[in-house]
Structure 1
Amino acid sequence: VEDDEDNLLAFYTTDNARSYHDRPLSTLGVDRETLPALEMLSTTYPGFVSIDSLPLATIEDRITFVSTLYEKGLVRTEYELEHSDDEGEDEPDSNEDDDDDETGKVISKRRKVQRESSDDDDDDDDEEEEDDDDE
C-alpha cells in the first residue's frame, strides 16, 4: 500500500495469534529500494534465500534489511543463529527503546533466511504442548 508521500507499507500479523486476532495489523515501512528484496523473499517461500543474493546495493543494506525482518518475526533462518551483542561492551541497565541500535546485530555464519509462516509457529506450539503432556 502506498501512502501520500509515495512510501510503501507492508502489513503483517505475526505477533497476533491466529486464535485471538485481538491486535490490529502491524505495518512495516518499505522504501522502493528494498521492495525487490521483499518480493524475492515472498516469492521464494518456503525456500531459503542467501542474504548475499538479495537485490540490494551493499552487504550492510542486506544485513540491516534482513535483521529488521527477523526482529519483527517476518523471516527465519535455515540454521540456528549464533547471536552476539557487541562482545566486550557492558550493556546499560536501562529500559530505553533501542530498536534502532539493535538493527544489524543479528549476524550468522550461515546467512540464509526464510519468510516466517504464522501457521508454522502455531503448529510448533501445538507440538510442544503435546510433548509436555507426554511427560
Structure 2
Amino acid sequence: MLALPISLAGLVVLEKTTSKFEGFILVLGLAVVSVVLLAILHNQMLQTERLLHSFNVIFDDFKDKIKTYPPKLQGLLRITIDQVDKQGRTLTRTFRLLKGLSLLPIVGALLLAAIKYWDGFVWLLMTILSIVFSALNVAPNFLSP
C-alpha cells in the first residue's frame, strides 16, 4: 500500500509529459501498480477469510453449547466471539476501501490521458472504425476463385 501515494504522484508526472509515448508508458506503469495492489489485497482477503473460517470451525461447538458452561466462561466466550466477528467486519470494510483506493491510479491515469490526448483517442477510434467497416464492404466476387 506504500506504492499508492507514489502512484498518485505519477498522475502529476503524467500531466507534465510532452510525448504520447511517455504518457503511454506512465499509464501502463500505473495500471501495473493498480493490478499488483489489487492482487495483494485479494490475497490478504483470502488469508483473512481462511483465518476467520478456522476460528468459526473451532468455536462453533462452543457456540452451540455455550449455556452448558459456567457463567464466567460464557461471558468470556461471548466477548471473544463478538470481538472476532467485529474484527472480521472491520477487515472486510478496510479491504473494500483499500481496493477502491488501489483503483485510483489507473482510473486517474485513464481519465487524465483521455483529457490530455483526446484528439489522439478520437483519431484512433475513427481509424479502427473505418478499418472495421471497410473490411465489411469487400465485394463478394473478389473472394470467389
Normalised by the size of structure 2, how large is the TM-score?
Answer: 0.25
Structure with the largest fraction of helix = 2
Q: Which has the higher contact order (CA 8 A, sep 6+)?
A: 2
Structure with the largest fraction of strand = 1
